[in-house]
Structure formats: C-alpha cells, structure tokens
Structure 1
Amino acid sequence: MTSKKELKFASILAIVLFITGITCYAAFPPPSPDEPVRLMFQNAAGKVLFTHAGHQDYDVSCLDCHHNIEDDEIYNCSECHEATGDESMPGRTDAFHAQCTGCHQDLGAGPVECNSCHAL
C-alpha cells in the first residue's frame, strides 16, 4: 500500500502537470489557416456551406474563383458585388451562380441543382 505522503505527492504532481498542460495549450495554440476552412453564405433560398477542402481535389487555382487578387490580398466578394447588380457589375447572387454553377458544369463535378447547395 502507498503511504499518505506518497498519495499526497502524487496528487500534487498530477495537479501541477494538469495546470502546466493547460498553460502550454493556451500559450501555444495551433496556427490558424490562411484562409477560412468553411464559409456559410446566408440567403433567402437557404444557407450554402462552402468548404475549401472540398475544392482542393480539382485542378483549380485561387484565381479561378478569386479573380480580384491584387498584391496577394484577396478581397471579400461584397466589396465589389452589391446585393443587386447593374450593367457594369453583377449582383452577388448572379456572380455566385455564374461562378460556382459554371465551374461545376465545366469540370463535370460538383452540384448544379439548387437544393444541392442550398441545403441548410
């Protein structure tokens, strides 16, 4: 059997190691990705969940979707595409549908039906 002194030492050691573990976890978090892993687009037709990982298996570059990269900075689509468009710039919905559905049709991969993307 263990003595009370050994049990007390083991308990204190366990507490110290636990606190050290929590401190190290908080002090050295894993690096965050350069781009968002998932994006949720909220709209009247139903939410659309976009994942970058699901698109990395295909031979597409960042410029295929992010056609506005300048000086290695990617801008938010909303900075150019308003909710409703005009002759000079398509609205967000039209731009997304043309970009996403058009690419899915061109590659023969990915959903093209409305409820395949607007599922949430």
Structure 2
Amino acid sequence: MTSQRDLKIAVWIMIVLLVTGIVCYASFCPPVPKNPVRLMFQNKAGKVLFTHLMHTDNYSLDCLDCHHNIEDDETYNCSECHGETGDESMPSRADAFHAQCKGCHEDYGAGPVECNACHAQ
C-alpha cells in the first residue's frame, strides 16, 4: 500500500510540473504577426470576414494592390476618408469595398461575387 508520505511527494511533483508547464507555455507564446491575420467588418448587410494571409500568400497581392493610402509604412483607416455616404469626389466605404473587392474577384475569376458569399448574417 502507498504511504501518506509517498502521496504527498507525488502531489508536490505534480504541482511543480504543472507550474513549470504553465510558465513555459506563457514564456514561449507565438509572435504577434506584422499584418492582421483576419478582419471582421461589421455592416448592415451582415458581417464580412476578410483573411489577409489568404490574399497576400495565396494570390501574391501587394499591400498597394488594395491599400491606396500607404505613406511611410502607415496605413490609415478607410473610414477616415470613406464615410457612410459618398459623393462624386469620394465614394462611400461600402461602395469603395464593393468596387475594390468584388471588382478584383470578377477580374481574376477568383473569390465570391454574390452578396451572401461574403456577408454572413
């Protein structure tokens, strides 16, 4: 039969191993990616999930293919220029996204072009 002393030693070993595992896991977390991995756009038509890595890695797109406002390695929020409503000089944010995303998908024959393929309820 196992003695109380042996049980206490086993419990202490388990505690030490558990604490060691937690410390090691927290110390070696993966690095934060330079570019966002995924973005979720909230809008009236339903959420749109955009995956940066799929577009940059799978399709070899460059930042300037989509972001026309990069200056000194700084990207601005689209909403700073493209508001809820647009005019002749500046399209609305929705119109700009539709022209950019849907237009590229149509031009290259890759990616969804139907509303419910991008917009999830």
> What is the TM-score normalised by the length of structure 1?
0.87
**Cα separation, 1, equivalents of 2:80 and 2:60:** 27
Cα distance, 1:100 vs structure 2: 0.1
For structure 1, the residue ranges without an aligned partner over 5 or more in a row are none
Q: Which residue of 2 aligns with 1:36?
A: 36
What is the 5 A alignment of 1:68-107? 68-107=69-108
> What is the TM-score normalised by the length of structure 2?
0.87
**Cα separation, 1, equivalents of 2:27 and 2:118:** 39
Once the two structures are overlaid, the 10-residue window that deviates more, 20-29 or 9-18, is 20-29
Tell me the alpha carbon deviations over residues 61-91 of structure 1, each in whole angstroms, 9 at most, x when there is no partner: 1111111111111211112211111222111
For structure 2, the residue ranges without an aligned partner over 5 or more in a row are none
Q: Which residue of 2 aligns with 1:17?
A: 17
**Cα separation, 2, equivalents of 1:57 and 1:65:** 15
What is the 5 A alignment of 1:103-118? 103-118=104-119
Number of corresponding residues = 120
- Letter of the 1:73 partner, please give it: E
> Runs ≥4 in structure 1, deviation > 6 angstroms?
none
Matched-pair identity in %: 72
